[in-house]
Amino acid sequence: MPGVRGRRGSLRERDFHQWLRTHLPGGRTGVLPIGDDAAALPVGRHRIVLLTSDALVENVHFRRTTSARRVGEAAAAFNLSDLAAKGGVPAALLIDLLGPPGTPSSWARSVLLGAESMAARYGCHVVGGDTKPSRTRTVLGMAAGWVSRDALPSRRGARPGDAVVTTGWVGHGGAYRTDLNRLLQVLPRIREGQLLARVAHSMTDTSDGIAESAQLLADGSGCRVVLVEEALPLHPRLRASERAGPRAMALAFYGGDYELLATVDPGDVPELVRALRRTHCRLTVVGRVERGRGAWLERSGRSKRMPPLGWRHFEPR
């Protein structure tokens, strides 16, 4: 179930990121801290290069029967979503293919064609990669992009008084949690991220769920991030179960949404709503930033600590 702690001493993603920040020079000297949506390297005085990677593993993210083209599209989209969370302009994509001996070449070709199709949709292309034998089919995507130094939102800039906004729906992943094909249908918010990055104080994507993303912004910024349950734009498939209480929220916070969560000056919200409407994307105010610590959930005017919901890598669900 979401939020279950792993065994003592086992690998946990957030703890591992903290270890990396203290043991690797990049954790202390990078433009963005290790563990943010992407790595950021300065090139010249005004431009930042963004680098990110993400992997899809058979029997975790896809089945043997899943369309190989769909897997390739998802490998590209997951990485492009990380660039979107930093307001990035996509530049290139690399794809590594790992599979056991006997893997059909048609599968590999279809994965690459799917990745190229998604990349081209956002103005970049697959420019290389690698192939290696492996016990399990795995597709590793790596994306590069760029952003202006003055338009790079991290997870550290949230300020008390900010409005918390999200693109699209909350709960896409929970709505389709039993349908891997639909979970892989992701359209990264590239243009929306660029518009938000112009004024956002902090931003991240919601690939692990909006609850987990709110916690990341709160931890990074040293503020309290409050989500208002009644304001969340629940996915249409979850609305029918809205009265189910805790279960509905568990599904809403399941992960796999790949939307953007940002904190902005409340005065910027009306223009952002209009700008994103032109991209056919809704923008919703779902909370606020206060003095304090941690992520909180408000319901009927009462706040409590955010329950540990959302995707937890290396932990049972």
Q: What percent of the chain has pLDDT over 70?
A: 90
Would you state the structure tokens that stand for residue 277, as one six-digit string? 């409407």
Judged on CB neighbours under 10 Å (0-12, 13-18, 19+), 196 is buried
The pLDDT of 82-87, averaged and rounded, is: 98
Task: Please determine, looking at this structure, whether the domain spanning 153-305 carries the CATH number 3.90.650.10.
Answer: yes
C-alpha 292/C-alpha 289 separation (Å) is 9
pLDDT at position 35:
84
Q: Map tokens 């955010």 to a residue.
A: 306
Strand extents, DSSP E, 106-201: 126-133, 138-148, 163-167
pLDDT at 125 over 70: yes
pLDDT at position 2:
35
CA distances for 187 relative to 81, 142, 257, 260, angstroms:
8, 17, 10, 12
pLDDT at position 177:
87
The pLDDT of 102-108, averaged and rounded, is: 97
pLDDT at position 9:
67
pLDDT at 46 over 60: yes
Burial 259-295 (b: 16+ CB within 10 A, else e): bbbbbbeeebbeebeebbeeeebebbbbbbbbeeeeb
Q: Give the pLDDT band of residue 20 (cuts 50, 70, 90).
A: confident
pLDDT at position 16:
73
Q: Give the pLDDT band of residue 154 (cuts 50, 70, 90).
A: very high
Name the phi and psi angles at 67, rounded to 5. -55, 125
pLDDT at position 233:
96
pLDDT at 145 over 50: yes
CB 194 within 8 A of CB 265: no
pLDDT in tens, 236-275: 988 876 555 667 778 899 999 999 999 999 999 999 999 9
> How much is the mean pLDDT over the chain?
90
pLDDT at position 27:
63
* CATH 3.30.1330.10 domain locations along the chain: 37-150
pLDDT at 317 over 90: no
pLDDT at position 313:
57
Angle at 76 between CA 70 and CA 79, to 5 degrees: 135
CA distances for 87 relative to 76, 109, 271, angstroms:
17, 31, 17
Torsion of CA 240, 237, 57, 68, to 10 degrees: 150
pLDDT at 1 over 90: no
C-alpha 218/C-alpha 94 separation (Å) is 32
pLDDT at position 42:
92
* CATH 3.90.650.10 domain locations along the chain: 153-305
Alpha helices in 198-306 (DSSP H): 210-221, 236-239, 246-252, 269-277
Helix axis angle, 190-197 to 68-84, nearest 10°: 10
Q: Give the pLDDT band of residue 5 (cuts 50, 70, 90).
A: very low
pLDDT at 188 over 50: yes
The pLDDT of 208-228, averaged and rounded, is: 96
pLDDT at position 316:
52
Task: Please determine, looking at this structure, whether the domain spanning 37-150 carries the CATH number 3.30.1330.10.
Answer: yes
The pLDDT of 20-37, averaged and rounded, is: 77
Q: In what order do the strands lie in the sheet with 163-167?
A: 202-205, 260-264, 163-167, 283-290, 224-228, 294-299, 302-305
CB 220 within 8 A of CB 154: yes
